[in-house]
A and B are shown apart, each in its own frame.
Chain A
């Protein structure tokens, strides 16, 4: 099936999310849409899938114009979509999820799940998915849930499959498996629209690459193009993807974590017996697939978690059991993973957000009253220093772009002398240009002699920043490896292999090849 988008424009009020975009997806082709977060990729796909009405433009299927009033129409036309956030009912079985909206029924509207199960087994066998139709979805690993999403599309005879950021939640091994599945689907004559901002994957799998920036198609690229070329096309100016940083000169070890265990409300150990230390002047990166205890670990250090046992010491002082305010006073700077929820108060001004953790201290407050003039002056300085793009210091922080919001958070945390700096997902949803800047600031902090902990699910970021890398898997530490460790080693560890074993295995494989 040939799919064509002609001049698609989508406006939300005054915001133009898509600006007359043209796109042709040929049968049996993997067509990648490359662009930064917020470039308009997902909006475009939601238009194609009938979730949004286009403001202008036309969709052609096999050269015939079509209009989709809802996802039902798009599916009927042979378009299937795997959403970034899975559209699966967690308490349903696989079969129920697949049947939903497309139910095989017996007399009287009674479900015929047997038919659905048979179809699932067929597809599962054909592509080697290994999915049990009677498993409850919430019990399945993320990678398998994604296959259920693909099955949902295939059961409906999809000819064009849209995969929206499918690798964001996968381990490197699962990512490889997914890329393999995409190859098989392509061999079967299906077309795939692959949406991503990860250059490596896009290069590995695409036949055609279309780059989108600020809602416009800025060009197509060949999969053989270098990552630097693709990145500069994506950002609109040349960027350096590699960070020049001097080797670390670790000093005294001041931050120690011993046997740290965090329990969730249901009693599960989400962080399980962690012990590690960080020296002054080094960056420890904590890698792992999302949801393996990283959030709980950083929040436990900050005093934001209940049911924490073990010990956390900074400069010999115990932090565990102290209030968040005490922890901040002890000199811990923290960039939370979700800046819009935990890092900023969106309706407060940029100036106020810049002093959120020091509003009651000299010089920002005197007695019971705050000093607006000082806060204002502080804001002007930080806005200049960090190049925060805002209309004014009094603009609401929520109106800023993701990258600029993150700069506000970073500027606030770096504006006092730190004994420890923790950043969770420091560059998630941040444009490539700002990433460069934020990374430099983090390395500068390290060079100033602060112990730094970076939590990131992006391997690229981990490898770029880390002096040492700790990998978390199901709340446990799989080991700590040097910052120069290979992707293969990290991939094995992220899937639950101990660090020394992973190193040995990768070493063996390479040895065998020689």
Chain B
């Protein structure tokens, strides 16, 4: 019997230190990826230069294109990744935590190496970097709205699988209302209303009638897909002029700021939906973590009974949050018919709602995290589009799988542990 066991500090050291099993997951994954990068991106690098264009010829400020040698970038990045893997290994061996910057820098290096390699191997090793990034943001807009909708629901304890349905119904309503009125803003409003309608069904069945939330969500997605598909073929295609030719939302360029190279077209040449997205991320973040509404929402999602014993009406908070989520996702849906293309197509959201759900988990139920996660997915999608045009050695189909592969890895929790709100998916019944 050790006498040291009676001293409090001894326990603290034991709990924080060797009592935990060292997790070799991170160093092993990093090492495997680093070796792969060494083989493919450094040793297997194409022996030519790669050009990244940073601005268009007509821009106010013209930056010279960035020209790099593919093997040089490949070697630097691969050696950097190996160094990071070694750091992770050493930290793990001495039972310390691997700092979060290690995998972050690692990911950036991998991305640079991959991009240089894949563009360098293309028939024309020349790509517009600003276009690649701006396109990513554009593609990410509906994903971000979708994951914000998911966050609003799950933080209050309701699982929202119906994001896909909310987006699709929003897109449909925006197209029809926009066409009939000839005004894109009417379409935008109609999209929000459509999102709320889907939410209303979700809220009534999952909160009032305590039906399994995942089942209600899946059923709603199928319902919206069938309903819009039917109306599309029965009504919209009969007279597309009247029903399915909404005006597009105008792009609002912010003077001066939109002239900035690279970031100008990314941030300051957007439609109102794009700007609303930034506002929504910021507002929901601040409100969720710093307001009374946010505190109650999180409490209801973590431990509803505790909130109830303090006089918070659990189901009312959940109901309003689910409806609010409908507004957000509906606006996101309008992106498909008022911004991306002008007109509705059958099942045009094509799984964006599920990717948004993954972005929410990847972003750890945090609006800012979800924002960056969605950007990553948008980037992956856009990269596959751009690369298929450039003619890369990687088959087009594989590139199109990229966002889904990223999603699987994200949801599998390979990037740190995600922890869902404690009561997410569990209906609250008093007593």
Instruction: Show the binding face of A for B, using Cβ within 8 Å.
Output: 49, 51-52, 70-73, 75, 81, 83, 86-92, 96-97, 99-103, 105, 108-111, 152, 263, 266-269, 272, 474, 476, 478-479, 496-501
B291 lies within 8 A of A110 (CB): yes
Docked CA distance A272–B20 (Å): 12
Docked CA distance A447–B423 (Å): 49
B15 lies within 8 A of A498 (CB): no
- B7 CB, min distance to chain A CBs, angstroms: 9
Identify 25 residue pairs between A and B in the complex whose beta-carbon atoms are under 8 Å apart, listed by A's number.
A70-B313, A71-B308, A71-B310, A71-B311, A87-B309, A88-B303, A89-B302, A89-B306, A90-B422, A99-B295, A100-B299, A100-B312, A101-B296, A101-B307, A101-B311, A110-B290, A110-B292, A111-B290, A268-B15, A496-B6, A496-B11, A497-B6, A498-B5, A499-B1, A500-B1
- B16 CB, min distance to chain A CBs, angstroms: 10
B431 lies within 8 A of A89 (CB): no
- CB-defined contacts of A52 to chain B, threshold 8 Å: 431
B1 lies within 8 A of A87 (CB): no
- Given A109-B292, A272-B19, residue A498 in contact with residue B2 (CB < 8 A): yes
A100 lies within 8 A of B310 (CB): yes
Docked CA distance A219–B295 (Å): 45
Query: Quick one: which of B19, B291, B310 has the most chain A CB within 10 A?
Result: B310
B295 lies within 8 A of A501 (CB): no
B431 lies within 8 A of A100 (CB): no
A89 lies within 8 A of B1 (CB): no
B1 lies within 8 A of A88 (CB): no
- B5 CB, min distance to chain A CBs, angstroms: 6
Docked CA distance A97–B312 (Å): 13
Number of cross-chain contacts by CB at 8 Å? 108
- Given A109-B292, A476-B5, residue A266 in contact with residue B20 (CB < 8 A): yes
Closest to A91 in B: B302
- CB-defined contacts of B313 to chain A, threshold 8 Å: 70
A91 lies within 8 A of B422 (CB): yes
Any A CB within 8 A of the CB of B305? yes
- CB-defined contacts of A266 to chain B, threshold 8 Å: 20
A87 lies within 8 A of B5 (CB): no
Closest to A501 in B: B6
B422 lies within 8 A of A88 (CB): no
CB neighbors of A among B272-302 (8 A)? 287, 290-296, 298-299, 302
A70 lies within 8 A of B311 (CB): yes
Given contact pairs A101-B311, A110-B292, A474-B15, a sample of 11 additional A-B residue pairs in the complex whose CB atoms are under 8 Å apart = A71-B311, A88-B303, A90-B422, A100-B295, A100-B299, A101-B307, A101-B312, A109-B292, A267-B20, A269-B19, A474-B11
- A513 CB, min distance to chain B CBs, angstroms: 23
B20 lies within 8 A of A87 (CB): no
CB neighbors of A among B12-42 (8 A)? 15, 19-23
Q: Quick one: which of A75, A111, A500 contacts B291, CB cutoff 8 A?
A: A111
Docked CA distance A265–B151 (Å): 27
- CB-defined contacts of A109 to chain B, threshold 8 Å: 287, 291-293
Any A CB within 8 A of the CB of B94? no
Closest to B7 in A: A496
- Given A71-B310, A500-B1, residue A103 in contact with residue B302 (CB < 8 A): no
- CB-defined contacts of A86 to chain B, threshold 8 Å: 306
- CB-defined contacts of B422 to chain A, threshold 8 Å: 90-91
- CB-defined contacts of B3 to chain A, threshold 8 Å: 498, 501
- A384 CB, min distance to chain B CBs, angstroms: 38
- B299 CB, min distance to chain A CBs, angstroms: 5
- Given A91-B422, A268-B15, A496-B5, residue A51 in contact with residue B309 (CB < 8 A): yes
- A506 CB, min distance to chain B CBs, angstroms: 14
- A508 CB, min distance to chain B CBs, angstroms: 15
Closest to B21 in A: A267
A90 lies within 8 A of B303 (CB): yes
B292 lies within 8 A of A103 (CB): yes
- Given A267-B21, A268-B15, A498-B6, residue A89 in contact with residue B298 (CB < 8 A): yes
Docked CA distance A87–B306 (Å): 4
Q: Quick one: which of B1, B293, B302, B305 contacts A479, CB cutoff 8 A?
A: B1
A72 lies within 8 A of B302 (CB): no
B23 lies within 8 A of A267 (CB): yes
- CB-defined contacts of A81 to chain B, threshold 8 Å: 309
B302 lies within 8 A of A92 (CB): yes
